[in-house]
């Protein structure tokens, strides 16, 4: 089915389907038609076979290997004029880099993408270049217990190659580590992960305490050409699910400079070439400590926050980077305001239309979304990963405080507090 777009523009190859990215492309038809390559299992599980009928930018969804790839492109892609390659998600980032190399287009590079897809490989690559916690790969609860005995202040148990805080737990030696291990190995996303494609790998890390941040950057030929720092808020307790983001993070200039320097060294350490870098950090002892890094667009609507706070189209600039056609002098150097997102974490069985309108009418609000639970589950569902969050609100303000307050007030309404 031909895409409904302006003619004469080469196609965008999205490796792995991303509903958020397709939404962006639907609003940017001038970027060209979008071809998606996705695992057959995921196409079936997510009902993507007819997705092109619902998105004006989407030309075709093509079955193919994206969660493991030797770089061999499906014939249906080889017959197209492809102008850029984008990873649609975490699990397809290595295949996207391989496809870009095969087509001679800008991309992260297979070595960099492979390193960032495996948190243990990233730790090894960053050794000697960046501050990071003690860590070890583990294969069972007994090895976790041995690590815990050496780190009385706590540890982080996580998969080495998953996303969305899936299976991540903050623990101490006094916790039931056998139960924690079972929770880790049972964590899954069957609608996103193709069977047999993601080899289970796990690691444990020394727990670090401090303010959490993420650093988003556009990278051209290994150079940071734009960057933005995001301040994060996570749930307290065992499952550190992210529940709020603020752009730009309100930090002093010397602290921001330390993040820029650390990310420049990270790019060099992994050999990242072109694209978007999304790295996560904890600020402790006067410097940034690496948590993890991905060579793809961040989730949680962070790109929207960057566009709102910096006054430009962050997503379009990303596409121009991977097209190799980013004009000089188009990227901002100072923000125009602040933007925040807050996620709901309590299930409100049935937010009324009046409640939603009350949330949307708040000062500075840009967007409100809610996913109510069935009534019988409204008060019993725990949030143990990003997939368990129940809604969100995006807001802007002249200051960080204004944006945060507007987003938080809307979420209180979504969660059933009618006073906001």
Q: Which token pair is 295?
A: 């060579």
Alpha carbon dihedral 364, 369, 375, 380, in 10-degree steps, equals -80
- Taking alpha carbons only, the member of 364, 365, 372 closest to residue 393 is 365
The one-digit pLDDT tens for each residue of the chain (420 residues) are: 333 444 467 999 999 999 999 999 998 766 789 999 999 999 999 999 999 999 999 999 999 989 876 667 888 888 899 999 999 988 899 999 999 999 999 999 999 999 998 999 999 999 999 999 999 999 999 999 999 999 999 999 998 887 656 778 899 888 899 999 998 888 777 677 767 667 788 999 999 999 999 999 999 999 999 999 999 998 887 778 889 999 999 999 999 999 999 999 999 999 999 999 999 999 999 999 999 999 999 989 999 999 999 999 999 999 999 999 887 778 999 999 999 999 988 766 556 667 766 777 777 888 888 775 554 444 445 776 777 788 899 999 999 999 999 999 988 888 877 544
Q: What pLDDT sits at residue 73?
A: 81
DSSP structure class, residue 91: G
Question: Contact 291/113 with Cβ under 8 angstroms?
Answer: no
Is the Cβ–Cβ distance between 98 and 71 less than 8 Å? yes
What pLDDT score was predicted for residue 262? 98
**Structure tokens belonging to residue 97:** 């880099």
Backbone angles phi, psi at 236, to 5 degrees: -75, 165
């Amino acid at each position: 089915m031909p895409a409904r777009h302006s003619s004469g523009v080469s196609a965008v190859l999205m490796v792995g389907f991303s509903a958020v990215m397709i939404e962006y492309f639907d609003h940017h038809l001038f970027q060209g038609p979008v071809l998606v390559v996705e695992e057959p299992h995921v196409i079936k599980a997510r009902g993507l076979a007819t997705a092109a009928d619902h998105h004006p930018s989407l030309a075709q969804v093509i079955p193919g290997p994206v969660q493991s790839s030797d770089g061999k492109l499906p014939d249906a892609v080889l017959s197209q004029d492809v102008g850029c390659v984008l990873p649609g998600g975490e699990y397809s980032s290595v295949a996207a880099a391989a496809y870009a190399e095969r087509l001679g287009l800008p991309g992260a590079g297979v070595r960099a993408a492979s390193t960032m897809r495996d948190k243990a490989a990233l730790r090894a690559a960053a050794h000697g270049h960046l501050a990071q916690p003690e860590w070890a790969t583990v294969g069972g609860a007994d090895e976790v217990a041995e690590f815990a005995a050496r780190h009385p202040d706590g540890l982080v148990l996580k998969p080495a190659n998953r996303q969305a805080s899936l299976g991540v737990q903050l623990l101490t030696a006094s916790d039931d580590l056998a139960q924690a291990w079972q929770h880790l190995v049972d964590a899954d996303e069957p609608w996103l992960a193709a069977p047999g494609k993601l080899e289970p790998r796990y690691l444990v890390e020394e727990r670090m305490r401090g303010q959490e941040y993420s650093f988003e950057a556009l990278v051209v030929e290994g150079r940071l050409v734009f960057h933005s720092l995001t301040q994060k808020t996570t749930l307290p307790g065992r499952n550190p699910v992210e529940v709020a983001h603020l752009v730009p993070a309100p930090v002093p200039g010397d602290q921001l400079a330390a993040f820029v320097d650390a990310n420049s060294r990270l790019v060099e350490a992994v050999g990242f070439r072109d694209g978007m870098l999304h790295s996560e950090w904890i600020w402790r002892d006067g410097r940034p400590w690496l948590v993890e890094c991905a060579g793809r667009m961040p989730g949680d609507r962070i790109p929207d926050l960057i566009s709102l706070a910096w006054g430009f189209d962050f997503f379009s600039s990303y596409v121009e980077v991977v097209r190799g056609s980013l004009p000089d002098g188009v990227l901002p150097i100072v923000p125009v305001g602040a933007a925040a997102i807050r996620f709901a974490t309590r299930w409100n069985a049935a937010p009324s239309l009046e409640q939603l309108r009350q949330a949307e009418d708040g000062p500075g609000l840009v967007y409100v979304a809610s996913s109510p639970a069935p009534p019988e589950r409204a008060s019993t569902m725990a949030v143990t990963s990003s997939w368990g969050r129940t809604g969100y609100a995006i807001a802007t303000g002249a200051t960080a405080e204004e944006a945060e307050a507007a987003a938080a007030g809307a979420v209180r309404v979504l969660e059933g507090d009618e006073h906001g």
